[in-house]
Amino acid sequence: MNHAPTIWEEGREPGNEVAALLVALLLTAMVVDVLLSHPLGLFFDLAFVTLCVGAALAVRPSDFFVVGVLPPLAMLTTVLLLAIAEPEAVASPHDGVVQATVSGLSRHGVALVTGYFLCLGLLAVRRRVADAQR
């Protein structure tokens, strides 16, 4: 008897496409958040966590590594780009690029840790479900 695939079995997208979409949506969330409330804030954090969960559920099992290392790199890239273009959105206006990047990462550390752990946790559950079905 065939059964409908569960949420753990659904992801079939290639890792590079999931990574590109996550980064594009994260940059979009960053721009929207900065336009709505100048310092990068809660909207960006919530979008980051949601996108990490979505990426972990969308990727195909053979590309788990790509999504497994993606959240910290995506956060670093986003904060670095903002530190270069508009440092006062993530740090003090007189901070340099490196200091603004470190400040931005520390200000959004809870979202980074939450999104990363949820992503890794979902990938681990998906791996266990796939192994149990074999």
CB neighbours of residue 25 within 10 Å: 17
Residues 6+ apart with CB under 8 A from 45: 108, 110, 111
pTM of the model: 0.92
pLDDT, tens only, 39-96: 999 999 999 999 999 999 999 999 999 999 999 999 999 999 999 999 999 999 899 9
The mean pLDDT value for 17-29 works out to 97
Rounded Cα–Cα distance for residues 21 and 15 (Å): 10
Rounded Cα–Cα distance for residues 64 and 14 (Å): 9
- Of 133 and 90, the one with more pLDDT: 90
Rounded Cα–Cα distance for residues 132 and 49 (Å): 28
**Averaged confidence pLDDT in the chain:** 92
